[in-house]
Amino acid sequence: MTRGAPPQEGPRRLALVIEYDGGRYGGSQFQKNAPSIQAELESALRQLTGEQIRVAFAGRTDAGVHATGQVAAFTTDSALDIDIFVSGLNAHLPQDIAVRMARIVHDRFNPRREAESRTYRYTIYNQPIRSPLWRSRAWRFPVPLDVARMQKAADVLAGTHDFAAFSRREGVSTVRTVSRCAVQRDGSLIIIEIKASAFLRQQVRRTIGVLAQIGSKQMTVADMRDLLKRAEPCTAEPVAPPQGLCLVRVSYPGLDLSLPDTL
């Protein structure tokens, strides 16, 4: 079904691209004692369709982490047009969450398992004086950072490695494949993008913490290699704060969910 086509009868599975400011949420998934993106989205779906709908996400984001390209999927009996799902959900969602796009997908579409890659972006505000405008979107690192040095360390991460040092022990394989890790400076900002098939819990934030230590010459590129080689859980430190992290893109084979104006 395409946009503007007649409504389809029977159950449909939809994929949504969601943007959110994670500042006031305990994370993307349900939390016992904190608000979550999932709870808000399911509440909006209930108000729009009258159905009790459970959504699945492409990836878990922790408390305080943002997204411009999170993907959620659900099945509905509603015959509402695809455009109405976008506008209707946005009418019921709080101002810090927005549905950017909706697509019809196959009945068994799993946004987590079918994703071929995920891209995270981390922003560092590299100035000695704080910026009120960037405080909820970036990690202020007051010491000057050497971007070229950081990129050399980032290059070490490319390929398939055991990233145990960059995650807590959780009883799962810690082998992951990173296809790209790029570090760029834009004025006072340092932007780091990491693309991989999948990530471990805290992998990106621990990676950023180490890159910042290397950029400030408190660690070396050789230290990054050693962390990968030893693969001892939780040894990559510090853990960068959550507000600088944003899930910007989840990619799927044969399904275009890209946004032309993604931040």
Residues recognised as catalytic: 62
Count of C-beta atoms within a 10 Å radius of residue 261: 6
SS3 readout for the chain: CCCCCCCCCCCEEEEEEEEECHHHCCECCCCCCCCCHHHHHHHHHHHHHCCCCCCEECCCCECCCEEEEEEEEEEECCCCCHHHHHHHHHHHCCCCEEEEEEEEECCCCCCCCCCCEEEEEEEEECCCCCCCCCCCCCEECCCCCCHHHHHHHHHHHCEEEECHHHCCCCCCCCEEEEEEEEEEEECCEEEEEEEECCCCCCHHHHHHHHHHHHHCCCCCHHHHHHHHHHCCCCCCCCCCCHHHEEEEEEEECCECCCCCCCC
CA angle 113, 249, 228 (to 5 degrees): 75
What are the distances in angstroms from CA 73 to CA 38, 130, 159, 181, 249?
Answer: 11, 39, 30, 28, 15
Sign of CA dihedral 77, 80, 82, 83: negative
